[in-house]
Structure 1
Amino acid sequence: MISLRTTAAIAALSLPFTAYGATMTQPDIKQNPNPKMRYEITATIDGAPGPFDRIHGIVDYRVTNELCVPPTPVMGARIVPEKRAELEFHHDHGNVYRATVYLDLLQDEDYFGKGTCHWALMAAGIELDHATVTFSASLFHDDLLAGNAVPRYFAEASYAKAQANRVDTGIADRTQFHGAGSLFSITMKAEERKP
């Protein structure tokens, strides 16, 4: 599974960007002034071998109807806008953290003069920093809407060997872990909250 950090390694949306030799400018993406589709995300950390220096989150949005985006002049590729936002997790109790996301955080609008672009939340994630290692777990769109509890498993040895700067995205199926030692998990789940 690809981490949110990897999937969103793109240029800032306020800057021009290049695809196949053609430069285009990203639109001025607007935030919805009255978002209503609110979900609470719960992250439960189970069996971690020690504390974390920082716990924070990220949420990625993407335009879902690419025909609202003009093709690039040279190759005709459509560069679909994406946007990343910070997600603030608050300690609830014990090993449980919570954050609030809005599915409709960004404004659907005709940004390019080719029809209304519709935004959707692609994934929300939590990142737990320990020394130079970031443990990253994500909850993707379908699981978020379905209210599925999604665990991610990490080797305790990865926590212990924190001298190498890296992102650890763990594994989804603990039976696929073939290393020595124990595992800890981060389980994410979302629940809709009416305004």
Structure 2
Amino acid sequence: MKTAILLAGLTVVAATALGLSACSNAVKDPKYERNPDPKRKYVVTVKVDGAPGPFRIVTAGVRYVVGPSQECMPAAEPISGTFPTPEHANLASQVRRVSESESEFEFDVYLDGMAAKDYFGRGVCTWRIESVTMSLKPTGADRERKFSTNIDEADVTGNASLVLYARREMYGASAENDYEIFEDALKKEWFSKRYGDDPSKFFTITFSARESGRDH
């Protein structure tokens, strides 16, 4: 009798789990596509001033998010009310050294880098840039701190330079744990509040951008 009750209970649990799975709206790994023919290109130039030495390993990328509307995405889960389908996509950007310089770089950012299309049968998903990132490492050695920068779409299209500040003492320093691997470069007001204004303590990373084919 106990065995029969146990088997019946397991059957109910399995059926319930199957039912929840069947009514799930989630797409765990959506096959987002990059735009095969993007037109809205900006060239981002980055100049490093005052660093203790060169940066041999430099990478950049763009993080896109579905928007401004997300009505094209699967609806929330009926039970939990959460939206487990990811709304982000990341594209790497090839970094170029300017005239073989050890302190000046450039890379391309496409405002229309992701394909606008109907991914879920709920209408066309459009995209916007959430952030543009760049990281710099002196040598690429294991546990070496990585200087991390983060700007947004307005910084790319705004026709103005953006200066970030980073600690000189962390150049080539080893991280004791994973949390310390990333050394954030900050805007001046935030850097000053945290580390002070002594110019011997920092170097600068200056971003500027121009729309492709136009002079600014």
Sort the TM-score into its range (normalised by shorter chain).
0.7 to 0.9
1:108/1:22 CA distance change after superposition, 3 Å: closer
CA distance in 1, matches of 2:126, 2:51: 39
* 2: CA distance, partners of 1:147 / 1:80: 31
TM-score (norm 1): 0.80
Root mean square deviation, CA, Å: 2.3
Give the corresponding residue for 1:14: none
Q: 1:55: how far off?
A: 0.9
Other-structure match for 2:82: 77
Counterparts of 1:156 and 1:55, CA distance in 2: 17
2:160 to 148, 156, 159: 148
Distance in 1 separating the partners of 2:36 and 2:175:
43
Identical-residue share of aligned pairs (%) = 25
Q: 1:36 aligns with which of 32, 39, 62?
A: 39
- Per the normalisation by structure 2, the TM-score is 0.73
Q: Is 1:193 aligned to residue 190 of structure 2?
A: no
**C-alpha deviation, 1:77, in angstroms:** 2.6
Q: 8 Å contact 1:124–1:139 — kept in the other structure? A: yes
Mapped pair 1:172 → 2:187: yes
The question of whether the paired residues in 2 share the 8 Å contact of 1:24 and 1:72 is answered with no
The answer as to whether partners of 2:119 and 2:125 remain within 8 angstroms in 1 is yes
Counterpart check, 1:50 vs 2:67: no
CA distance in 1 between counterparts of 2:72 and 2:59 reads: 33
Is residue 153–residue 172 contact of structure 1 (8 Å, CA) maintained in 2?
yes
The structural deviation recorded for 1:158 is 1.3
Distance 1:75 1:145 in 2: 39
Tell me whether 41-50 or 170-179 shows the greater mean CA deviation.
170-179
User: Please, which of 151, 167, 181 is the counterpart of residue 139 of structure 1?
Assistant: 151
Q: Is the 8 A contact 1:139 1:189 kept in 2?
A: no
Q: Name whichever structure is richer in helix by fraction.
A: 2
1:80-112 alpha-carbon deviations (Å, 9 max, x no partner)? 521111111111034211111211111111111
Q: Name segments (4+ residues, structure 1) moved above 4 Å.
A: none
**Residue 74 (structure 1) shift:** 2.2
Counterpart of 1:27?
A: 30
Distance 1:38 1:84 in 2: 16
Match of 2:132 in 1: 124
Higher strand share: 1
Q: Distance in 1 between matches of 2:175 and 2:54?
A: 16
Unaligned ranges ≥5, structure 1: 1-20
2:173 and 2:147 mapped to 1: Cα distance? 13
Contact in 1 for aligned 2:65/2:130 (Cα 8 Å): yes
Give the one of 148, 170, 183 matched to 1:158: 170
* Conservation of the 8 A alpha-carbon contact between 1:66 and 1:80: no
> Structure 2: which 5+ residue stretches go unaligned?
1-23
Q: Which structure: larger Rg?
A: 2
Provide Cα deviations, 1:26-61, integer angstroms capped at 9, x if missing partner: 321122121100100001111111122301111111
